[in-house]
């Protein structure tokens, strides 16, 4: 009995292996594989399924996101997501029509479902619940936390500022707003006229942790990658690298002129963004054969970061002309990080307090010093006055050469 009511309040609480396979099919149209191991009758030559276990970190994220879905429990209404299949259907409809507004897609999807369903008199989900379902679908596709008009869905874990996804905008427009393109940052153009190689050394994990005194913290939100919290002295590092490589594989045959909508149809996030995140990890933060890579290995073995981050080589999923070193999406974050290492903001509460107080203290010291000098001068003046009075008294009492 209890399990039945749980199933109603958390309909996606558990995720089976078959549902994870259906997720891969929804995101990248992986084929129905009869062999499921990449060989056997009916299996394609380049079967993606052997790569499925490498997505373990993404699967963990999916399980967590799905389990946190709570529908509106209005009597007589069906939840927006009754099972994982509903979520996959929404993902597929977002990918099929990336330029249609969220409101339009929502009514299209739920109207069709209502019409097709012999729902036994169950009413449509509440508009808030529908929004929640679409926000969850967008988050699974892009790993960007988003919020609809529903304020409750904006309450997210600490430090993650959700991107608003307004009803009249499409998922393409949502992604464009989430990742505004800055002016291209070529590593060679950073201040200090340092050469490319020096800049790389300057932003390596070794320099960042030892000279910048920053901690490296894993994040599952791609928008938080390289975010710097100068108060807690931490840099967020996106750890869903296996997922990035899948996005890149899926968009491998896209033309360079492909629009964001065409990208979403096959791969879900901008190809350039996926490349930049991988490059920032592989050739800036943790270059192979360096002490920085040793730092990464240590963090992976401690279980802080996903094991897949040790294999960041993207040569097999990169076009020949996609050269590493030009950053458009991550430009401003790399600049901020560079500035922080070069000129660190005070660390910790005490240091910040001290920094603030020190100015006040100098002022106090100057005032106090002046007061002490004034008192000393006053005392000296008084002493001189007393001495003069005493001399005058002596002269009056015992006049020199007097009678
Ligand atoms: Zn296969």
What is the rounded CA–CA span in Å between residue 65 and residue 138?
11
Q: What is the pLDDT of residues 282-336, one digit of tens each?
A: 989 999 999 999 999 999 999 999 999 998 877 777 877 777 777 888 888 888 8
Calculate how far, in angstroms, residue 25's C-alpha sits from the geometric centre of ligand 1.
Answer: 12
Calculate how far, in angstroms, residue 161's C-alpha sits from the geometric centre of ligand 1.
Answer: 39
Calculate how far, in angstroms, residue 98's C-alpha sits from the geometric centre of ligand 1.
Answer: 28
Whether the CB-CB separation of 308 and 54 falls below 8 Å is answered with: yes
Whether the CB-CB separation of 163 and 146 falls below 8 Å is answered with: yes
pLDDT of residue 227: 92
Calculate how far, in angstroms, residue 13's C-alpha sits from the geometric centre of ligand 1.
Answer: 29
Calculate how far, in angstroms, residue 23's C-alpha sits from the geometric centre of ligand 1.
Answer: 16
- Computed from CA positions of residues 322, 326, 331, 337, in that sequence, does the dihedral angle turn out positive or negative? positive
pLDDT of residue 242: 94
Calculate how far, in angstroms, residue 36's C-alpha sits from the geometric centre of ligand 1.
Answer: 5
**Number of neighbours of residue 239 by Cβ within 10 angstroms:** 24
pLDDT of residue 356: 60
> What percent of the chain clears pLDDT 70, i.e. is strictly above it?
81
Is the pLDDT at 134 greater than 80, yes or no? yes
Calculate how far, in angstroms, residue 24's C-alpha sits from the geometric centre of ligand 1.
Answer: 13
- Tally the C-alpha atoms within 13 A of residue 65's C-alpha that lie toward its C-beta: 27
Is the pLDDT at 188 greater than 90, yes or no? no
> What percent of the chain clears pLDDT 90, i.e. is strictly above it?
45
Calculate how far, in angstroms, residue 29's C-alpha sits from the geometric centre of ligand 1.
Answer: 12
Calculate how far, in angstroms, residue 42's C-alpha sits from the geometric centre of ligand 1.
Answer: 7
Q: What is the pLDDT of residues 86-124, one digit of tens each?
A: 999 999 999 999 999 999 999 999 998 888 875 566 788
Calculate how far, in angstroms, residue 128's C-alpha sits from the geometric centre of ligand 1.
Answer: 39
pLDDT of residue 193: 45
Q: Which residue has the tokens 């960042």?
A: 208
Calculate how far, in angstroms, residue 35's C-alpha sits from the geometric centre of ligand 1.
Answer: 6
Calculate how far, in angstroms, residue 174's C-alpha sits from the geometric centre of ligand 1.
Answer: 34
Calculate how far, in angstroms, residue 40's C-alpha sits from the geometric centre of ligand 1.
Answer: 8
Calculate how far, in angstroms, residue 47's C-alpha sits from the geometric centre of ligand 1.
Answer: 4
From 216, 226, 212, select the one nearest 327 (Cα to Cα). 226
Calculate how far, in angstroms, residue 51's C-alpha sits from the geometric centre of ligand 1.
Answer: 11
């Amino acid at each position: 009995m209890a399990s039945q009511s749980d199933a109603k309040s958390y309909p996606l609480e558990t995720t089976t292996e078959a549902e994870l396979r259906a997720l891969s099919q929804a995101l990248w149209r992986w084929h129905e594989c009869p062999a499921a191991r990449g060989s056997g009758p009916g299996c394609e030559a380049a079967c993606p399924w052997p790569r499925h276990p490498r997505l373990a970190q993404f699967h963990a994220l999916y399980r967590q996101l799905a389990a946190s879905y709570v529908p509106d429990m209005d009597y007589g209404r069906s939840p927006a997501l009754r099972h994982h299949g509903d979520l996959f259907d929404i993902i597929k409809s977002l990918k099929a029509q990336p330029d249609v507004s969220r409101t339009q897609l929502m009514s299209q999807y739920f109207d069709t479902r209502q019409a097709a369903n012999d729902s036994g008199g169950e009413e449509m989900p509440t508009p808030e619940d529908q929004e929640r379902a679409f926000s969850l679908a967008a988050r699974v596709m892009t790993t960007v936390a988003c919020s609809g008009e529903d304020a409750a869905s904006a309450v997210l874990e600490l430090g993650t500022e959700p991107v608003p996804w307004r009803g009249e905008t499409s998922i393409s427009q949502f992604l464009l707003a989430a990742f505004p393109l800055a002016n291209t940052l070529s590593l060679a153009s950073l201040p200090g006229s340092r050469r490319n190689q020096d800049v790389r050394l300057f932003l390596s994990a070794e320099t960042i942790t030892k000279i910048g005194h920053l901690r490296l913290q894993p994040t599952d939100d791609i928008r938080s990658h390289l975010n710097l919290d100068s108060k807690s002295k931490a840099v967020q590092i996106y750890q869903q690298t296996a997922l990035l490589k899948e996005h890149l594989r899926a968009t491998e045959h896209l033309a360079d002129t492909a629009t964001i909508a065409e990208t979403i149809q096959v791969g879900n996030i901008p190809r350039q963004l996926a490349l930049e995140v991988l490059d920032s990890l592989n050739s800036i933060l943790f270059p192979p054969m360096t002490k920085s890579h040793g730092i990464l290995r240590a963090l992976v073995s401690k279980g802080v970061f996903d094991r897949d981050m040790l294999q960041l080589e993207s040569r097999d999923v990169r076009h020949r002309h996609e050269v590493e070193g030009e950053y458009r999406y991550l430009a401003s974050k790399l600049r901020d990080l560079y500035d922080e290492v070069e000129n660190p903001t005070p660390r910790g509460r005490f240091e910040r307090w001290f920094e603030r107080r020190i100015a006040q203290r100098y002022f106090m010291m100057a005032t106090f010093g002046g007061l002490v000098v004034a008192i000393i001068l006053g005392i000296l003046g008084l002493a001189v006055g007393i001495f003069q009075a005493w001399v005058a008294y002596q002269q009056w009492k015992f006049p020199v050469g007097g009678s």
